[in-house]
Structure 1
């Protein structure tokens, strides 16, 4: 292992931490936990800033209102989730796969599965204008996340970055309708799924992919050859940090413009 001291200036404060990265060649999945950790530490700075300003984060264990939204994953996250599910005890894995199968059947009946698959497999960037109708159609169905059990996340330690980043300071009851109610989300300094997607796009010379969570395991299985590729650990970390710095630069500019406006 090689230890790196990382320092990032975020809109909510300075993040400093030590990161251990394997010195040899590693698959992209090996850098996912470290990248998520940096995202969570940045999110914690946002929480601290909100608390200091007198706001309260409403999200609590057992509140799964946001678990009816369509969650996008980057390719590295899809591969990492597949690895995580593969090492689960057989009974838990079977239960999850049954939930995923039921969700797929429902989405096929509703005419959404093929549209989601097109998003996952497209070889070009997908514009928000294309995604919004799909997101709205999915949310209108209020389908519980297939990884949800008794309103609790069954893959909590491996959940996607997008799930980790969605925190609100508006009253929890407003989350029962995330489209029409005045939800106040906590600002996100850097979106880890987007960063991992950009890293993967650079490594594979392809546009960043968005893989809908209900089909992530299926997609990962179909692309398992890509998941076997390896790169030097320090090189992957450099790629991650480069994309983070770019993302943070854009976020600083965005918040500056909002403050001026």
Structure 2
């Protein structure tokens, strides 16, 4: 269980880069996207229909067009991800396995959470909009965590993960992942066991739901924790999108390093891309991941 979500996301990012499955994966659903010209000149409306292993998702999305920062696509991606995850939740409930996660159950907030670059930039922007005293508390907790990581020899490893231009094999990532989890460091955004940035939390946090007893999450190494299946990991999708528009290897940033990384790469966040092209690229990556997931589950995509 502890390998989720780092191993799953990193493995898919690596396979996507190495295999380039454009020819081997059928990109389903493409005919189910419609454009509505009745919106304002700065917004375009997309009606999206996606066939997923858990059912069909339909959504109407108002997307900024013109030239926009990559962060503009993050809320759209999260919306689609949450809609797809609701279908997975409904499926496990129908199988008699309700989700056991509840407010205040924050055991998973001690895991090493990965962010895609667009999410890291969006998080930086969100924190910058908070009152000064809240920003100070967050940065103080980040500094405390950094000192703990330095004292245990993990800080440099996490910064290398954030900046690497090479794929990280599981045998190198797993010891870092486990060492971080062993420290049981609370997320810097956790206050009184409740997420203080709930509306802006990373996709990996949104996607980690379990059906096993909540008490099992206190020790995810030794307990058999059962996660709700995730058809599309939005961190993967946004990581692939960033890799494409930047023509660089996919990367994921550990949450404790996210603000630092985003500030160091602020010049990249200031760049602008066509909003229409970003949404097209987002949907292409979602279709690619969905096609892969259908294959993994041994299912045939609806025609």
TM-score by length of 1: 0.97
- Bigger proportion of residues as helix: 1
**Off by >4 Å, runs of 4+ in structure 1:** none
Q: How far apart are residue 127 of structure 1 and its match?
A: 2.2
Distance 1:191 1:144 in 2: 23
Residue 261 of structure 2 corresponds to 219
Distance 1:170 1:55 in 2: 8
Distance 1:80 1:94 in 2: 18
Tell me the SS of whatever aligns to 1:209.
coil
Distance 1:153 1:222 in 2: 25
Q: How far apart are residue 220 of structure 1 and its match?
A: 0.3
Work out whether 1:11 is the aligned partner of 2:53: yes
Q: How far apart are residue 128 of structure 1 and its match?
A: 2.4
Work out whether 1:78 is the aligned partner of 2:125: no
Residue 202 of structure 1 corresponds to 244
Within a 5 Å distance, the mapping from 1:120-199 to structure 2 comes to: 120-199=162-241
Deviations for 1:27-60, whole angstroms, at most 9, x for unmatched residues? 0001001101100000000001111111110000
Deviations for 1:59-108, whole angstroms, at most 9, x for unmatched residues? 00000000000001000000000000000011111111111111111101
Distance 2:90 2:74 in 1: 24
Tell me the SS of whatever aligns to 2:297.
helix
Root-mean-square deviation (Å) = 0.8
Name whichever of 106-115 and 120-129 sits farther off: 120-129
TM-score by length of 2: 0.84
Distance 2:285 2:169 in 1: 20
Distance 1:135 1:40 in 2: 26
Residue 35 of structure 1 corresponds to 77
Tell me the SS of whatever aligns to 2:298.
helix
Work out whether 1:92 is the aligned partner of 2:140: no
Work out whether 1:253 is the aligned partner of 2:295: yes
Q: 2:97 aligns with which of 55, 60, 63?
A: 55
Unaligned runs of 5+ in 2: 1-42
Distance 2:138 2:103 in 1: 20
Residue 105 of structure 1 corresponds to 147
Residue 15 of structure 2 corresponds to none
Tell me the SS of whatever aligns to 2:250.
coil
Deviations for 1:202-231, whole angstroms, at most 9, x for unmatched residues? 000001111000010000000000001111
